[in-house]
Amino acid sequence: QKEVEQDPGPLSVPEGAIVSLNCTYSNSAFQYFMWYRQYSRKGPELLMYTYSSGNKEDGRFTAQVDKSSKYISLFIRDSQPSDSATYLCAMSEATDSWGKLQFGAGTQVVVTP
Amino acid sequence: GAVVSQHPSRVICKSGTSVKIECRSLDFQATTMFWYRQFPKQSLMLMATSNEGSKATYEQGVEKDKFLINHASLTLSTLTVTSAHPEDSSFYICSASDFSYEQYFGPGTRLTVT
């Protein structure tokens, strides 16, 4: 069993819709939870990170962490075609720095005009 | 700020040869650098972690004699794939971290071994 599970998609949504992404994990020691966006053949770009449980909002993006359920989510409101990319969740056990990151497989998102 | 570059962006080499990939932090000092490998439609898999001036720490299953990592300065780490074979063809991505929490990723290097 993988430590981090993420549906690879693809997830296709019309422009303006809400994109809902999620990951589940098995390691209760994870403390930091991140979401990265990766365009084809490019390196990952950090979107948001959360420490421990809770919600965090940044513009059109909202990240949620439920440690009791070992479940994290990312919501993208008012989706745009430029949001079409692969979204990776990542997690870290470290408490003083991110250190080693454990990634999910990534979900491919396609936003159609 | 926090820009990480990789060179080359793409390389094709013949089986049995060695290939060096550079990872540079352009505007910050990277105390730690990480090397990942990503196969098509798969996630990033950490290969090794290196701290400036120290030997790299390799993940289980990664051959340290095949994937040589050098982190000689606070802005440069290199990954050398020795005696490359077609199964080493992959997308190699580095990331760098300073004293903050975040890891900053490079754009990746696509290696094709023929």
Give CA angle at B67 (B104, B83), nearest 5°: 135
Backbone angles phi, psi at A60, to 5 degrees: -85, -5
Chain A residues with CB inside 8 Å of B108's CB? Answer: 41-43
Query: In this structure, what token pair is assigned to residue A99?
Result: 């250190």
Q: Distance from B108 to chain A by nearest Cα, in Å?
A: 5
Contacting A residues, span 40-99, partner chain B, CB-CB under 8 Å: 41-46, 49, 88, 97-99
- According to the model, what pLDDT value does residue A41 have? 81
Q: What is the pLDDT of residues A58-77, one digit of tens each?
A: 999 999 999 999 999 999 99
Q: Distance from B67 to chain A by nearest Cα, in Å?
A: 18
Q: Name the residue among B10, B15, B6, B36 with its Cα closest to residue B87.
A: B15
- According to the model, what pLDDT value does residue B36 have? 95
- According to the model, what pLDDT value does residue B72 have? 82
Residue B22 has pLDDT above 80, yes or no: yes
Chain A residues with CB inside 8 Å of B99's CB? Answer: 97
Backbone angles phi, psi at A65, to 5 degrees: -130, 125
Residue B4 has pLDDT above 70, yes or no: yes
Chain A residues with CB inside 8 Å of B49's CB? Answer: 99-100
Contacting B residues, span 55-114, partner chain A, CB-CB under 8 Å: 91, 93, 95, 97, 99-108, 110
The DSSP output letter for B42 is: S
Query: In this structure, what token pair is assigned to residue B49?
Result: 């972690």
Average pLDDT, chain A: 92
Q: Distance from A19 to chain B by nearest Cα, in Å?
A: 20
Average pLDDT, chain B: 92
- According to the model, what pLDDT value does residue A98 have? 67
Q: In sequence order, what E strands does A2-101 have?
A: 4-6, 11-14, 19-25, 32-38, 45-51, 54-58, 61-66, 71-76, 85-92
| Rounded distance between C-alpha atoms, residue B76 and residue A54, angstroms | 37
| Rounded distance between C-alpha atoms, residue B100 and residue B102, angstroms | 6
Chain A residues with CB inside 8 Å of B34's CB? Answer: 100-101
| Average pLDDT of the segment spanning A76-105 | 89
- According to the model, what pLDDT value does residue A100 have? 83
Residue A95 has pLDDT above 80, yes or no: no
pLDDT band at A96 (very low <50, low <70, confident <90, very high): low
Chain B residues with CB inside 8 Å of A104's CB? Answer: 43
The reply to whether residue B107 touches residue A104, judged by beta carbons under 8 angstroms, is no
Q: What is the pLDDT of residues B39-84, one digit of tens each?
A: 887 889 999 999 888 889 999 999 999 999 998 889 999 999 999 9
Q: What is the pLDDT of residues B73-109, one digit of tens each?
A: 899 999 999 999 999 999 999 999 887 778 899 999 9
Across A30-34, A85-89, B98-102, the highest mean pLDDT is recorded for A85-89
